[in-house]
Amino acid sequence: MIYTVTMNPSLDYVMVLKEARLGELNRSSREMHLSGGKGINVSIVLNNLGIRSTCLGFLAGYVGREIERELRQRGCHTDFIELESGCTRINVKVKEVCGRESELNGNGPEIDERGLKRLEEKVSALQDQDTLILSGNVPQGVAADVYGRLAAAAQGKRVTLVVDAEKSLLFPALPYRPFLIKPNLSELSGMLGKRLKTREELAEGSRELQEKGARNILVSLGRDGAFFLSENGEELWINAPKGTVINTVGSGDSMVAGFISSRECGKSLRECACYAVAAGSAGAFSELLPERGRTEQLYREISENQLA
């Protein structure tokens, strides 16, 4: 089973406006309510791609109950920890017709040590061959070593560990040799404390993270596709397919889901990396998270160029 962890989920209230004017009354042309959080996004895309997973993490209050209801309605399995106080955050996303987007993100409820220990217990109960995906930020007050703690809880089992997070959260997990990490170019530069300008510098920087413990590294490069460095030392530059970018939110999460879903289907690491780019691109070319049909179509296009 694949388990995704979302420490700080959200209910995203998306409003589409012709133009947003600060300090004035604004009326939207349409709205959407979507469950959010990087781990949740990964589970939704996995489900869209025909792969089962279970959502772990924390929910609180009526917003948390709505998120769980929506995920179950989508067919996603959930095993969240319900907090006794507080309320899961609501994030407001304002999208203008011109393409500009503004966000108002809440903080989320406080997670105490008792709650963290309950999550560690769930992770420690994972079985051999399970996959644990740790992704996204954590609420205020949660120590940056939390992903290291969860990785340690899974140690001793043959659990496939995936981490998609910024430096302060990722680095404590690197000693546990995650199977996959997926930074974007800006995040990779921040992890190494230097701006990476050339392909050679990017590849060298990825190798530095391998020396710190990461086994496979997939660096998302936006319109330029991705760079993949395998645990066998193989380098693969993957060009992004052509298409109209509509929404890049969740593209990185879609890449993680694409990689892991194709691994579950027995594909090679090269194929997994190409499928990851296909899923990320399918999401970018859609208003919502990607569906299987569009992902498969883009994967065939990428494969003709990269795997021929």
3-state secondary structure of 154: helix
Local structure of residue 156 (DSSP, 8 states): T
CB 124 within 8 A of CB 47: no
3-state secondary structure of 179: coil
C-alpha to C-alpha distance for 134 and 227, rounded to whole angstroms: 21
C-alpha to C-alpha distance for 243 and 240, rounded to whole angstroms: 9
3-state secondary structure of 8: coil
Q: Which of 12, 130, 164, 253 is catalytic?
A: 253
End-to-end alpha carbon distance in the chain: 32
Please say if 253 is a catalytic residue: yes
DSSP 48-74: HTT--EEEEEEE-HHHHHHHHHHHHHH
CB 235 within 8 A of CB 214: no
CB 274 within 8 A of CB 302: yes
CA 75 to chain centre: 19
DSSP E strands: which ranges in the chain? Answer: 2-6, 10-17, 30-36, 53-59, 77-78, 81-82, 89-96, 101-104, 131-135, 160-164, 180-181, 216-220, 226-229, 235-238
Local structure of residue 83 (DSSP, 8 states): P
**Residues designated catalytic:** 253
